[in-house]
A and B are shown apart, each in its own frame.
Chain A
């Protein structure tokens, strides 16, 4: 026993290392699980406040750019309204009112912390459970383009698992011919302006500049533009090819985002869970 004690105390550095390293490793692996009780991340009140206060200057610097993008979006929406108003109601007597049950509602939020330099990037926004945000909600950026999914929520803050994250897969299709694939980022290239679509069947003919939009199978509303094809990919003997696209939205200048509330999300999830149980 005494020898054991001497042995342990002589090589204490090594044993401490084993203990603390195991704790670190355990935290890393557990972090990938969906639910967790401790919040050591930027939804934490202290961390969130620090980032909010630090971001003041940066926000001020980019005011002009944000204004421009808002003006552009306003112009687009005004055009849409004009198109709706110009319907000749004297001719079409029956008006279908679909505004009663909008499936998607948008909630705007300010980006408190953004990151584009890592393999797994996480964005923090200043809205939380008090504003009705739930984990798993899709997030898009104001002009066009997608941002990611809500990952963690606290009362006043929420983190977004950005598209620039290894665990993010989003179902997209090419607008021209509906070729479906899944959007991924960062396999061998951490450029925040580029992403890849994998598992696109070989027989679809694609051209440079084809628009890629979200598909019906993702939790995003269908048809949100994501990017343009920059490399149509070469098949490597199997039935699928990898396509390179350039993203429409610029992650480095992200200041505001829209969180999308899907009214029927819970209902859809419930009915899909039922199918899994029966299998």
Chain B
């Protein structure tokens, strides 16, 4: 079971990152909203992953995205923040002893839980991403608007992908 999870996640890493670099990097909605759907990979890592490993994976994923986006450190910091929010949210909302589900997907956890989880993580990620990229107080309000609209765009795509690829299991 464990080796299957590892292989699935490695495959998912490549697919999600290629999707982001090839297609979504060129998408832009009225110069305001850019989607960053590659965070789906970090959202769907198994519950049983140790914290240190989570952070290392987020760090490497962020660094890879930085290499392709030419923004050294920005995606790295954003991904690390996402993992922090993820750990906090899961420790509050899921009891530690009964992980009957291996992965926090929409089908496993239900729509309400997943929506809240994805919203919090996406917003934390985008907040760090946009403000580190701009790094200027004079453009604060414009950056905040971009950040909010991009979060909505990303979230929409995340939920859409989840609905397409993960059907609800019979419980």
- Which residues from chain A sit less than 8 Å from chain B, CB to CB? 12-14, 16-17, 20-21, 23-31, 40-42, 44, 47, 50-51, 54, 115-120, 122, 124, 159, 166, 187-192
Contact = CB atoms under 8 A, between A and B. Distances in A.
Contact of A116 (B28, B32, B136): B28
Given A115-B25, A117-B34, A21 B81 contact: yes
Contacts of A191: 31
Contacts of A17: 55, 80-81, 83-84
A166 B63 contact: no
Q: Which of B59, B71, B84 has the most CB of A within 10 A?
A: B71
A16 B55 contact: yes
Contacts of B27: 117
A21 B73 contact: no
Contacts of B66: 27, 40-41
Contacts of B59: 20, 23-24
A175 B62 CA distance: 45
A44 B64 CA distance: 11
Contacts of B87: 13
Contacts of B28: 116-117
Contacts of B133: 118-120
B138 interface: yes
Contact of B77 (A25, A51, A117, A166): A25
A242 to B, nearest CB: 13
Given A21-B77, A47-B68, 15 more contacts: A16-B51, A20-B59, A27-B66, A27-B76, A27-B77, A28-B135, A40-B63, A41-B70, A42-B70, A50-B68, A116-B28, A119-B130, A119-B134, A122-B71, A187-B138
Contacts of B81: 17, 21
B26 A13 contact: no
A17 B84 CA distance: 6
A120 B129 CA distance: 12
Nearest to A15: B51
A115 B138 CA distance: 23
Q: Which of A17, A20, A190 has the most CB of B within 10 A?
A: A20
A118 B25 CA distance: 9
- How would you classify the secondary structure of chain B's contact residues: helix, strand, loop or mixed? helix
B99 interface: no
Which 8 A-B pairs rank lowest in CB-CB distance, beginning with the nearest? Answer: A27-B73, A24-B77, A28-B73, A122-B70, A117-B28, A24-B76, A31-B72, A190-B31
B26 to A, nearest CB: 7
Contacts of B72: 27-28, 30-31, 40-41
A24 B26 contact: no
A184 to B, nearest CB: 12
13 contacts: A13-B91, A16-B55, A21-B80, A26-B73, A28-B74, A28-B77, A28-B135, A40-B72, A42-B67, A117-B25, A117-B26, A119-B143, A122-B70
Nearest to A115: B25
A222 B67 CA distance: 34
Contacts of B71: 28, 31, 118, 120, 122
Contacts of A24: 59, 62, 73-74, 76-78, 80
Contacts of A23: 59, 76
A165 to B, nearest CB: 10
Contact of B51 (A12, A25, A44, A120): A12
Interface in B63-109: 63, 66-74, 76-78, 80-81, 83-84, 87-88, 91
Nearest to B27: A117
Nearest to B28: A117
A50 B26 CA distance: 16
B1 interface: no
Interface in B31-74: 31-32, 34, 51-52, 55, 58-59, 62-63, 66-74
Q: Which of A14, A116, A118, A120 has the most CB of B within 10 A?
A: A118
Contact of A118 (B32, B69, B80): B69
Contact of B34 (A13, A30, A118): A118
A23 B66 CA distance: 14
